Chain A
Amino acid sequence: DIVMTQSPLSLSVTPGEPASISCRSSQSLLHSNGFDYLDWYLLRPGQSPQLLISFGSRRASGVPDRFSGSGSGTDFTLKIGRVEADDVGFYYCMQALQTPTFGGGTKVELK
């Protein structure tokens, strides 16, 4: 299995300030087609999980442009340009190069 490791475990952010979450995989997620098979998801309490980013950097439909994904190979980052109240929740990275596996999650809360 590909092991996904996220950091930090939790993040307390002042509204309007930026935030960054790191995700590292135990193997490269770069497919032979040139795409990194890495997604980011947001789980808000009591709501359906939401796809934020696919293929490492492709913002999903309806996702605000304050969310951005970067990285390639084994190291990836999700950045929130200016955190808003609606961004509170648990963020997960997931690899889909092989049988999908998720990172342990990062809790984002407001200061």
Chain B
Amino acid sequence: QVLLQESGPGLLTPSETLSLTCTVPDDSIRTSYWSWVRQSAGKGLEWIGRVFAGGKSDYNPSLKSRVTMSLDTSKNHFFLTLRSVTAADAAVYYCARVYGSGYDSFYGMDVWGQGTAVIVSS
């Protein structure tokens, strides 16, 4: 069972940039799509986006202007950057592996991290 681990700062002030890292325990980072999902009290579960080792990525249109996802296959890490955070971005952030392959469709997630809580407060 692949286990994913999120890491990053738990507390941000408004307007800062959120940077999270997800560690993948094996070389599957090179052959799968990887996603970020968040859960907030106000909006429930929200798909943030996905990224593939080939450099392709897709983002939720509602966040697209502020989000960047990337990978470092040499370290088995993938990353989420969310700029100009507000209180609405406070949530538990999960990284996850996408179970499907192919760029033409979206798919769900079959392996997840335990989540990391992010608070946004001045």
Contact = CB atoms under 8 A, between A and B. Distances in A.
B100 to A, nearest CB: 8
Nearest to B115: A48
A51 B94 CA distance: 14
B45 A48 contact: no
Contacts of A61: 110
B106 A48 contact: no
B107 interface: yes
A86 to B, nearest CB: 17
B112 A49 contact: yes
Contacts of A102: 44-47
A105 interface: yes
B106 A96 contact: yes
Contacts of B108: 39, 41, 51, 54, 94, 96, 100
Nearest to A31: B105
Chain A interface, DSSP helix/strand/loop, else mixed: loop
B60 interface: yes
A51 B113 contact: no
Contacts of A47: 114
Chain B interface, DSSP helix/strand/loop, else mixed: strand
Contact of A99 (B61, B94, B96, B110): B61
B44 A100 contact: no
A60 interface: yes
A73 to B, nearest CB: 17
B61 A60 contact: no
Nearest to A33: B105
B103 interface: no
Contacts of B120: none
Interface of A: 31, 37, 39, 41, 43, 46-51, 54, 60-61, 92, 94, 96-102, 104-105
7 contacts: A39-B108, A46-B114, A48-B113, A48-B115, A49-B109, A60-B110, A100-B108
Interface of B: 4, 37, 39, 44-47, 58, 60-61, 94, 96, 99-100, 105-110, 112-115
